[in-house]
Chain A
Amino acid sequence: ETGVTQTPRHLVMGMTNKKSLKCEQHLGHNAMYWYKQSAKKPLELMFVYSLEERVENNSVPSRFSPECPNSSHLFLHLHTLQPEDSALYLCASSQGGQKNTEAFFGQGTRLTVV
Chain B
Amino acid sequence: LAKTTQPISMDSYEGQEVNITCSHNNIATNDYITWYQQFPSQGPRFIIQGYKTKVTNEVASLFIPADRKSSTLSLPRVSLSDTAVYYCLVGLGGSYIPTFGRGTSLIVHP
The answer to whether residues A110 and B41 also contact, given A99-B32, A102-B46, A104-B46 and a CB cut-off of 8 A, is yes
Q: 1/0 per residue B37-80: CB within 8 Å of A?
A: 00001111110010100000000000000000000000000000
- Beta-carbon contact of A99 and B93 below 8 Å: yes
Judged by a CB distance under 8 angstroms, whether A108 is at the interface is: yes
- Beta-carbon contact of A92 and B98 below 8 Å: yes
**Please, which residues of chain B bring their CB within 8 A of the CB of A4?**
43
The answer to whether residues A105 and B96 also contact, given A42-B101, A42-B103, A100-B49 and a CB cut-off of 8 A, is no
Question: Majority SS of interface residues in chain B?
Answer: loop
Judged by a CB distance under 8 angstroms, whether B34 is at the interface is: yes
Contact of B94 among A35, A97, A104, A105 (CB under 8 A): A97
Q: How many residues of B contact A (CB 8 A)?
A: 23
A-B contact count, CB below 8 Å? 60
Q: How many residues of A contact B (CB 8 A)?
A: 28
- Beta-carbon contact of A45 and B49 below 8 Å: no
Q: Which residues of B contact A (CB under 8 A)?
A: 30, 32, 34, 36, 41-46, 49, 51, 93-103
Q: Could you show 14 A-B contacts with beta carbons less than 8 Å apart?
A: A33-B97, A35-B100, A42-B102, A43-B44, A45-B98, A45-B99, A45-B100, A88-B41, A90-B44, A96-B96, A101-B93, A101-B96, A107-B42, A108-B43
Q: Which residues of A contact B (CB under 8 A)?
A: 2, 4, 33, 35, 42-43, 45, 48, 56, 88, 90-92, 94, 96-108, 110
